[in-house]
Chains A and B, each alone.
Chain A
């Protein structure tokens, strides 16, 4: 194994310094960063408090029945009455009231996540789950659709509608700090509304088991002010003019990679992730390793060891220099 090469210090440490502000990592649902997640966290703490009370009371009562000593003599009628009180009070009244209150108080917590019509239609981001990477599309971007992969940029402080589907098997879209998850099912489009209240980087990972590399299907989510999102999208719109250097690497890419991958202005493959801005992405292989100098070439050589079973063929037939060259060129790809 070439495990030692693997370094991903940057993968999840948030560049903006906010991602790790929470108590434990950036996928904790107890560290909400949006209204939906906050409501759910509140519901959780409420349920936890009340249910702990119920649980402790029950166990104490139960243990108390085993105390030694004599019991009062009771008539059969008394016993029947006491038994009836226990069952009516604990068996019916307690759970009955609890579930009515819980339903009335808990269900509205999900309201934020429903794509109900609101005054100003929210921004739409389409996310498609693939084995094992994410395709992210901005259909309404000014001047034409923008496509990227394994990274998602969203505006902060406003609701965003995510329209999700699966390209092959069922995946699930989930940004724990923003709110609940929704399945990405081939043939349907599911919708969920999420909002980030603070800017930052949030972890996200496929939540529905989707095969061999389910564990390595992570999405880098970044919330930033609307203007920055617009700028980010605008930068990705024009097709970059090919630079004279790396011409040879581009040719190698056309030969070996273009059938599957798209690079704006170079190739139109749509089987694997779009690589047009790969040079500035935070991670490689949907969160398998951090992006840094030489990382792409390393990935190209050893990706079947880093992410066994991934759909990209092993590149044993391509010599190391070629892979180095392709990697070096891909690292230059920036919007």
Chain B
């Protein structure tokens, strides 16, 4: 493990052995690739394609609005185009693009060789790809969603949107969000557990801090929308009236759940882009960032505060003024962490000697546009002003300033900055500058003027307007600007494409950067670094500019590979001290098969062929379980538990591998989903205009208690087994695991009986519908917990789990704890409280 103990070997030989283990297969087997470099690129290229599609849709919108009374698009088609522009840009471009960048860059910046769950990366990519194709296909068939990208009910419900458009949105977006969740989970775990030797939390590059917070926000922020989509799809497909007033539901619940996701989403998009800014500015100012800790604090604050602002999208729904002002204050509060970052950047430039390179030009564009967007954001946070401009083109202008300024400009800056790493060549200065100025001017022409159009009273999402309104000129200017903007973007893309061929050869680390990704060869290898260096400050490449050579020469840790495994360091989340050798899984068919099965589920739900959907779900579950089977001590995951002398043990032989963290973060996401469900329950109960609470709970108390007792007993039993494993003995392990599984199965049966006995009418009342969903949530967890513990029992038999291999039950036990907690909360929320508070509203 220490750097000197590694015996010197021939660098070529080291490279060859690593390449053998890490190589990507070609041909149709390229579908099995799990490598983060390849998948990061695939994410970004796919994102670029969707960006172009979204851009064409934007041009259609601007063409229609260029003149009053245009017939260029029919109202129906316009509404599809406008809905899809928002959907594609937000869900298929912005988030996946930044995920792709993070997936590509983070392991390189923290000195890892891959993300900890590479197969999850691949699974996420295919979910994204298939989901995106499903969503886009609706546009080609001219049955795209047409109720605006936030799909408000009841406009999106089956009564007012009878076609399959809303279903495409709900199922497709949920599918894509699975991919975001996968990326979120593994980025958190990768960042916390696989940093190279000595990279403590306080030495982490700022970009990685931003990504860490973004990943946590994805994990907490996407579940509300996933839940909302499930509920609305259930309403549309089966008739469960969650959002129907007459049955006790409430359309405003959708808005709450949507914006509980939607507002954090803006910051999920902004934070990684701000991370790019915080990376580039110090490099081009030639000095460390001013106020590293201030920036870290600001990022953490943004992460939290952004979950407390969602109601500012709903100031006109009729919420009492005190509550509105509360959210107004919260929305303004977020200006402080943002300003801290802006002034930290300014101070860095002030104290450094900045160079106006092409990437910095884009950063300048970012600053100007984003500050305007931020300032109009503060305006919009003010309730009375919001009442006036809400849902007008003022808001459209504001949001484009924030997302284009706050995301696209830094992204292009980052692309120019990191392009040499990818291609080994430098971007051209001339074409690049033309591209920038056209984009910048076109953008401001389009959207600065649009603020005014909004102030003149033009609502958003109108397909036409009357010439007497006085909006003609401003719309025409916006449209002309829009086309200039597209020419600029096209030029940037051409510039990128050309530079791969015509760019000047770049030296290693051309910008004189300080972070580890520049220690890689250009382009990087599949395994990143031949040997993993220790870091001693925040600026490893400024400390030791020789790192690109010395890492390639194998002068640092884990040089080459000895046992034919894909290996990297597992380290302490706080100090970065190396604790384990993490062996990550290799190329596999499982991820693409699982994603394909889910795509079949999605398509057959769209086509309402429920038998096929059921079968495909079954296939997906089986594939996922098989996938989980080939893990840990399974010979396909790791044939031997040998490690080089002096190296720490393999993570799968310890008590605390990254998988435990993965399960923990996954359960955090699950918890956010459950909390959203509870929020929906209490929201409808207190606010829904025609909510009906039955006089007595339909749920049988004896059955609830019996299920709870069985579950508690099973969970305690499992805890005992785990405690034993921690102490190093495994007496009765298999029997105990099977026993736990049996009790779990018994509890499952009790829940089914409970559900049947309750005789709920989920299509007649929102109350019964929510109770049904809650019980099914419990059922799914009973089933999953039971199956997983049963498989653990089998694995004891195969010798994959034992006192010497205690790791996996420690992962599974977390699910059981979670399930136990959730069950009793369900009992309290759905039986105890209603019984205590009595029936009626």
Contacts and interface: CB of A to CB of B under 8 A. Distances in A.
Do chains A and B directly touch (beta carbons under 8 Å) in the complex?
A: yes
Interface of A: 1, 3, 8, 11-13, 24-25, 27-30, 36-37, 39-40, 43-44, 47, 51, 54-55, 58-59, 61-63, 65-66, 71, 74, 79, 82-84, 86-87, 89-92, 94-96, 98-99, 102-103, 106-107, 109-110, 113-114, 131, 168-170, 172, 174, 176, 179-183, 185-188, 190-191, 203, 205-216, 287, 308-309
A91 B339 CA distance: 4
Please list the 6 inter-chain residue pairs (A to B) with the smallest Cβ-Cβ separation, ordered nearest first: A180-B387, A27-B457, A187-B245, A110-B384, A91-B340, A215-B462
Given A51-B378, A212-B76, 5 more contacts: A28-B456, A29-B388, A96-B336, A187-B689, A211-B147
Interface of B: 69, 71, 74-76, 79, 146-148, 152, 154-155, 160, 245-246, 250-252, 290-291, 294, 298, 316-318, 321, 325, 328-329, 332-333, 335-336, 338-344, 346-354, 356, 364, 367-368, 371-372, 375, 378-379, 382-392, 455-466, 468-471, 689-690
5 contacts: A11-B468, A65-B350, A90-B343, A99-B332, A180-B386
A54 B154 CA distance: 42
A170 B155 contact: yes
A102 B382 contact: yes
Given A29-B389, A92-B339, A109-B384, A62 B316 contact: no
A58 B350 CA distance: 12
A12 B461 contact: no
A51 B391 contact: no
B76 A86 contact: no
A90 B348 CA distance: 13
A58 B387 contact: no
A57 B292 CA distance: 24
Contacts of B353: 71
A140 to B, nearest CB: 22
A206 B457 CA distance: 11
**Interface SS of chain B: helix, strand, loop or mixed?**
helix
A30 B251 CA distance: 32
Contacts of B386: 180
A209 B148 contact: yes
B364 A107 contact: no
Contacts, number: 266
Interface centre among B152, B457, B461, B463 (most CB of A within 10 A): B457
Nearest to A186: B245
Contacts of B79: 211-212
Interface centre among B69, B329, B456 (most CB of A within 10 A): B456
Given A12-B468, A86-B350, A308-B74, A209 B155 contact: yes
A90 B342 contact: yes
B112 to A, nearest CB: 31
Nearest to A169: B155
Contacts of B367: 58-59, 62
Contact of A215 (B71, B347, B379, B465): B465
Contacts of B252: 185
Contacts of A210: 155
B318 A44 contact: no
Given A40-B384, A186-B154, A186-B245, A208 B335 contact: no
A211 B388 CA distance: 21
A62 B365 CA distance: 11
A25 B382 contact: no
B351 A82 contact: yes
B463 A215 contact: yes
Given A86-B343, A90-B342, A91-B344, A207 B391 contact: yes
A30 B394 CA distance: 13
Given A214-B462, A215-B462, A103 B325 contact: yes
B344 A98 contact: no
A158 B763 CA distance: 47
B354 A87 contact: no
A217 to B, nearest CB: 9
A209 B147 contact: yes
A83 to B, nearest CB: 4
Contacts of A84: 291
A307 B460 CA distance: 18
B468 A13 contact: yes
B382 A86 contact: no
A28 B318 contact: no
A87 B456 contact: no
Given A11-B466, A55-B375, A86-B350, A40 B75 contact: no
A309 B75 contact: yes
A86 B353 CA distance: 17
Given A11-B466, A170-B154, A188 B318 contact: yes
Contacts of B291: 83-84, 87
Contact of B350 (A30, A82, A174): A82
B438 to A, nearest CB: 20
Contacts of A182: 316, 318, 387
B56 to A, nearest CB: 22
Contact of B391 (A1, A8, A37, A172): A172
A106 B343 contact: no
Contacts of A309: 75-76
Nearest to A114: B321
A101 to B, nearest CB: 10
Contact of A66 (B290, B336, B356, B391): B356
A216 B382 CA distance: 29
B457 A25 contact: yes
A92 B461 contact: no
A8 B462 CA distance: 19
A11 B468 CA distance: 9
Contacts of B155: 169-170, 209-211
Given A83-B351, A170-B251, A209-B152, A44 B385 contact: yes
B777 to A, nearest CB: 27
B335 A86 contact: no
A39 to B, nearest CB: 7
Contacts of B69: 3
Contacts of A65: 346, 349-350, 352, 354
A333 to B, nearest CB: 25
Given A13-B468, A99-B333, A205 B387 contact: no
A215 B464 contact: yes
Nearest to B314: A183
Contacts of A40: 384-385, 387-388
A12 B457 CA distance: 14
Contacts of B372: 55
B364 A25 contact: no
A114 B390 CA distance: 17
B311 to A, nearest CB: 13
A98 B321 contact: no
Contacts of B349: 62, 65-66
Contacts of B455: 28-30, 44
Given A65-B349, A182-B318, A188 B689 contact: yes
Interface centre among A59, A63, A172, A207 (most CB of B within 10 A): A207
Contacts of B384: 36, 39-40, 43, 106-107, 109-110, 113, 180
Contacts of B463: 214-215
Contacts of A66: 349, 354, 356
Nearest to B386: A180
A258 B187 CA distance: 64
A239 to B, nearest CB: 32
Contacts of A168: 154, 160
A110 B333 CA distance: 20
A86 B295 CA distance: 13
A274 B459 CA distance: 26
Given A187-B690, A209-B155, A308-B74, A99 B456 contact: no
A216 B460 CA distance: 13
A177 to B, nearest CB: 8
A230 B555 CA distance: 93
Given A99-B335, A110-B321, A187-B690, A87 B152 contact: no
Interface centre among A95, A180, A216 (most CB of B within 10 A): A95
